[in-house]
Amino acid sequence: MTYAEAYRESLESPETFWGRAAEAIDWDKKWDLVLDRSNPPFYRWFRGGVLNTCYNAVDRHVERGRGDQDAIIYDSPVTNTIQKITFRETQNRVAKIAGMLVNLGVKKGDTVLIYMPMIPEAALSMLACARIGAVHSVVFGGFAPRELAVRIDDAKPDVILSASCGIEVKRVIPYKPLLDEAIEIAGHKPTKCVICQRPMSVADLKPGRDFDWEEKEAAAKPADCVKVQATDPLYILYTSGTTGKPKGVVRDNGGHAVALIWSMKHIYNIEPGDVYWAASDVGWVVGHSYIVYAPLFMGATTVLFEGKPVGTPDPGAFWRVISQHKVKALFTAPTAIRAIKREDPKGVFLKDYDLSNFETLFLAGERLDPDTYFWGTDLLKKPVIDHWWQTETAWAIAGNFRGLELFPIRPGSATMPMPGYNIKILDPVTAEELGPNQNGVITVKLPLPPANLPTLWNDDKRFEESYVNPFPGYYLTGDGGYIDEDGYVFVMGRIDDVINVAGHRLSTGGMEEVLARHPDVAECAVVGVADDLKGQVPVGFVVLKAGVTKPKEEIVDEVIKMVRNDIGAVASFKKTVVVDRLPKTRSGKVLRGTMRKIADNEAYSVPSTIDDPATLDEIGSALKTIGYAV
């Protein structure tokens, strides 16, 4: 099948296309309807189908002779560990962890929160939840207690799985105090926490509430896979929206398994037995889809890497892992490649390693800038493929196809729409469909393909308001861009208050809510400005209340600390200026887009609706004091 045939069929007859793709999954009962269109915009895939996600990721491979093949290779330069876990061992441990959850009272449909560093138990516990039909909600370890508390309050888990610490390049981060503080702040109180003790920092356990993981797992009886409906939730993953309240993206079981296994072959060209590596974190969607579920659905080996592209110990770390474990495809974020380029511009470290098994470098999480694309291609002499997706979608919306048809690459473009995604560029004001090379809002005509979010957790209304109501009949991606005359998709950046910092999705609105809590701050704005390494970093602007006498520098230090404490170090919020006024329209809307352009030295026109054009000069002068707009 060519790409053109696949794409056409996926839009004209999604039932045929995805019904065929679903044959790659084992079902306890086949579906009644491939696509249930009865309640738009809430489309559901594989209605009536019954399966188990963990069975498809683990057990079936053991039953079919892959028991001795590695399922997970845990490679942790920060602890000097390499541990290989076969499919059989994975099955045994997952069944025991599932049994441990059952002993703690977890039942099908219950939520379980997972707050873990990149250790095997993180992936195993996700699979254990799937095994018993519990709904996991993984929270990225870099988030601060307040962010964790918001997620506890929304997901309402009775059980939390965590570890005593995470390990960053230069420091050990005890997780337990963060977890304790989050439970303290949260309104909902989980009653049981199971802590995986790591020797680098052993946690104190609260009697009655906290349990030692090793003891609980050892004492448990293995639990079997539980049958669930294709439309039952597999997990909730919170992601940044435009406000401080994150969106709980829901993933189903059936559509998720079908789309992910299709993507493994056709996008990444991965077959059973291959080694695949997504250098991300289980706390992000890339980690859910491509560290844990998709490679295992395929019967491939996945690498779980606890390290960084640089500093663990050097910029050759990625090339070392690829050569040592015979990795066929690596998926990471452009920022990781920029970090390597910065420390090893000539690629000297690559020369020590044999990359003969390596086929393709895949990048996503932010736009792949042409410089990084050319540097990576020249160095690796292999295809470097950009693909564009979101937490909401679980897999790529646009990309290239290593296992279907490799399109010539156009630097700066994510290439072609994936099957099932009817991408339309709309005029932001008139909602008319725009033609080739015209910049607009990127939308996808409904229905979305399998694995995409059916709704937000307990919030159908917010799902409709955020994604569907702005352009009825279309899913609003939140990104802007265009499609060229040959169908190549160019994603140019967010059109809302979401920013991407080192591939991490964050909300400037959420940061503004933190700044506004400072007692001396009257008004504030946060914008994402361009950064050579991280793609974007947030910059804060604060207007002080009248009569404040505290030195400005102290207030700046305080708000920077507040964001670090309330959101997390991962926000990379390090620059803030005090200004007399914010530039606004006459109706009072802060002109964040214009402020960003000033910081990035981009050309801008003074909006006709501006209240006082002099405020823009004031912003320019303030930015110069912190090294921007020069």
Contacting positions for ligand COA (CB under 6 A)? 141-142, 166, 168, 173, 279-280, 284, 286, 308-310, 332-333, 335-336, 339, 364-365, 502-504, 533, 569-570, 572
Residue 167 CB, shortest distance to ligand COA, in Å, is 9
Select from ligand COA, ligand AMP, none the partner in contact with residue 390, using the beta carbon and a kind-dependent cut-off of 5 to 8 Å.
ligand AMP
Please state the closest distance from residue 400 (CB atom) to ligand AMP, in A.
11
CB atoms within 10 A of CB 415: 24
Give the range of 158-166, 358-366, 458-466, 596-604 binding ligand AMP by CB under 6 A.
Answer: 358-366
User: Residue 53: helix, strand or coil by DSSP?
Assistant: helix
Binding partner selected for residue 166 from ligand AMP, ligand COA, none, CB under the kind-specific 5 to 8 Å limit: ligand COA
CA 114 to CA 130: how far, in whole Å? Answer: 13
The site string for ligand AMP over 360-399 (x = CB under 6 A, - otherwise) reads ----xxxxx-----------------xxxxxx--------
Closest CA to 293 of 83, 65, 25: 25
Q: Does 570 bind ligand AMP (CB under 6 A)?
A: no
Name which of 354, 347, 334, 237 is nearest 280 in CA terms.
334
- Least separation in angstroms between CB 154 and ligand AMP: 17
CA 388 to chain centre: 12
Cα 266 to the center of its chain, rounded Å: 21
**Smallest separation, CB 308 to ligand COA (Å):** 5
> In degrees, to the nearest 5, what angle opens at C-alpha 185 toward C-alphas 180 and 191?
55
Residue 123 near residue 161 (C-beta atoms within 8 A) = no
236 binds ligand AMP (CB under 6 A): no
Task: Closer to ligand AMP by CB, 338 or 505: give it.
Answer: 505
Residue 306 binds to ligand AMP (criterion: CB under 6 A):
no
Of residues 405 through 424, those in contact with ligand AMP by CB under 6 A are 414
Q: Which of ligand AMP, ligand COA, none does 366 bind, CB closer than 5 to 8 A by kind?
A: ligand AMP
Residue number with CB closer to ligand COA (178 or 582): 178
Residue 522 gets the label, from left (phi > 0), alpha (psi -120 to 50) or beta, of: alpha
**Residue 173 interacts with, from ligand COA, ligand AMP, none (CB under 5-8 Å by kind):** ligand COA
Find the binder of ligand AMP among 53, 111, 125, 239 (CB under 6 A).
Answer: 239
Instruction: List CB contacts of 218: < 8 A, sequence separation 6 or more.
Output: 96
505 binds ligand AMP (CB under 6 A): yes
Q: Which residues of 512-549 are buried (b: 16+ CB within 10 A; e: fewer)?
A: bbbbeebebbebbbbbbbebeebbbbbbbbbebeeeee
Nearest approach, Cβ of 522 to ligand COA (angstroms)? 28
Computed from CA positions of residues 122, 113, 280, 256, in that sequence, does the dihedral angle turn out positive or negative? Answer: positive
Decide if residue 479 touches ligand AMP (CB under 6 A).
yes
> What are 190's two structure tokens?
């989980």
Residue 288 sits in the site that holds ligand AMP (CB under 6 A):
no
Q: What is each CA distance from 350 to 82, 186, 313, 354, 609, in whole angstroms?
A: 21, 47, 14, 8, 53
3-state secondary structure 408-451: CCCCCCCEEECCCCEEEEECCCCCCECCCCCCEEEEEECCCCCC
- Comparing CB distances to ligand COA, the nearer of 90 and 332 is 332
Residue 308 touches which of ligand COA, ligand AMP, none (CB < 5 to 8 A by kind)? ligand COA
Q: Give contact residues for ligand AMP (rule: CB under 6 A).
A: 239, 285, 364-368, 386-391, 414, 478-479, 491, 494, 500, 505
